[in-house]
Amino acid sequence: MIRLTIHNLTLRRDEITLLDQVGIEARPGRIHLVLGRPESGKTVLARALAGLEPDCTGEIYLDGRDIIDIPPEKRRVGLVATDPGLWPGLSAGTNVDFGLKYRGIARQDRKSRISEALGWFGVDSLKHRRVESLTPIESRRVALARALAVDPQVMIMDDPLDDLAEGESRALRDDIVRVHTEQRVTTVIMARDVDPWWEFADRISLLHEGRILRTGPPDEVFHRPESLDAAAFFGPCNVIEGVAEAIDPRGEVLVRTACGRLLGRVVSSQGFVPRQGEPVIVMFRPEAIALGAVAGSATAQVNRIPVRVVRTTFAGRTFRCELEAPGEVPLTATLLAGQATGIRPETNLTALIPSEMMSVASASRNPEYEPV
């Protein structure tokens, strides 16, 4: 199993920066998810890793060997683009055979390898079918088989589930995960939607305008954003302004706010360490809030915010509560439906937030935001 390490990968074209010092480490045999919106640089990054963007600078290591100057055909990097890119007029099997033949593999060995690769994705029976007759999901399965048939050290997939119906998307996702579990090929998946991959990704990198904003385990990336741009990848985020009051060497920061004193943590990948008295923002997800009865003076207790319920919305499995905290600060809590018994508009409650789910960031680096 191969470790993929990227350092300072940069691509500029016509004075436009497409990739800006990208750094990622995909651990051996794991799935690394690169999450980004359209035009964030996902496709460019996928092509760069496969060697199809020769103007890139930086370093791409496969187990310590820099391949930045190695041509695509010698990299042993499999690429599956959003468009399967099957060659028209040929059968599915011939498409898979192309890479094997190019690598000089004997004909008899190629035949068995074609059947094996197509069989991984359940489409061996289609090997004699012309690709024009394949459905979209069949075409993607053939493209995946073609990329894996040549025994790559690393697989790169660019939005492999894009534009598929929900049922087909789930089925193809399950195929990808199953084959990955069997083959243990280090895999980097570019995606715009995190939902299909939450439970399977070892690490998530957030790609925004060609830059990596944050990398980490899925739960940390979700609950501990280090900027508002990073927080926005996963929907609404509560934001409270304050002033740093005390800083612990371990990264915990006590913040004085209109809602009371809040203890959160700095995500330090960008080197931000607040000074005492420095303006900061505190961010936490609606899912991080637990609501309880009012107990004494909540503002005197750390991470306990007195709130008034403004509006509630039932959404099946979840219950959305719009809240107002001291200083007319709007907050939103998302609860499981069973946790919302008795919560009604105009109820006074206490919002409790664990410190490990509160991120503290520089107010000057996040000058514009719209709290939920």
Q: What would the pLDDT profile of 13-28 be if each residue is shown by its tens digit?
A: 988 999 999 999 999 9
- Kindly state whether residues 205 and 167 are assigned to the same domain: yes
- State the average pLDDT over residues 236-243: 94
Residue 371 in domain: no
CATH number of the CATH domain containing 214 = 3.40.50.300
d(CA 20, CA 64): 22
pLDDT at res. 294: 65
CATH number of the CATH domain containing 334 = 2.40.50.100
Core vs surface per residue 121-144: b (16+ CB within 10 A) or e = bebbebbeeebeebeebbbbbbbb
Residue 372 in domain: no
Residue 211 in domain: yes
Residues 301, 353: contact at Cβ < 8 Å?
no
- Kindly state whether residues 82 and 118 are assigned to the same domain: yes
Q: How many folded domains does the chain comprise?
A: 2
pLDDT at res. 372: 35
Torsion on CA atoms 233, 68, 103, 120, rounded to nearest 10: -20
d(CA 320, CA 331): 11
Q: Give per-residue pLDDT as tens, 308-343.
A: 999 999 888 889 999 999 999 999 999 987 777 778
- Kindly state whether residues 198 and 316 are assigned to the same domain: no
- Kindly state whether residues 185 and 146 are assigned to the same domain: yes
- Kindly state whether residues 200 and 90 are assigned to the same domain: yes
- Kindly state whether residues 172 and 274 are assigned to the same domain: no
Residue 367 in domain: no
34-43, 67-76, 102-111, 361-370: least confident range: 361-370
Residue 272 has pLDDT above 80, yes or no: no
Residue 339 in domain: yes
- Kindly state whether residues 173 and 104 are assigned to the same domain: yes
Domain end (from 178, 194, 223): 223
pLDDT at res. 106: 86
Q: pTM here?
A: 0.88
Cα 321–Cα 327–Cα 330 angle in degrees, nearest 5: 25
Residue 228 in domain: no
Bridge partners for 261 per DSSP: 256
- Kindly state whether residues 331 and 204 are assigned to the same domain: no
pLDDT band at 302 (very low <50, low <70, confident <90, very high): confident
Domain end (from 195, 223, 251): 223
pLDDT at res. 299: 46
- Kindly state whether residues 84 and 177 are assigned to the same domain: yes
- Kindly state whether residues 190 and 277 are assigned to the same domain: no
Domain end (from 171, 193, 223): 223
- Kindly state whether residues 179 and 54 are assigned to the same domain: yes
Residue 116 in domain: yes
- Kindly state whether residues 187 and 261 are assigned to the same domain: no
d(CA 233, CA 213): 10
> Domain range for residue 114?
4-223
Residue 368 in domain: no
Residue 369 has pLDDT above 60, yes or no: no
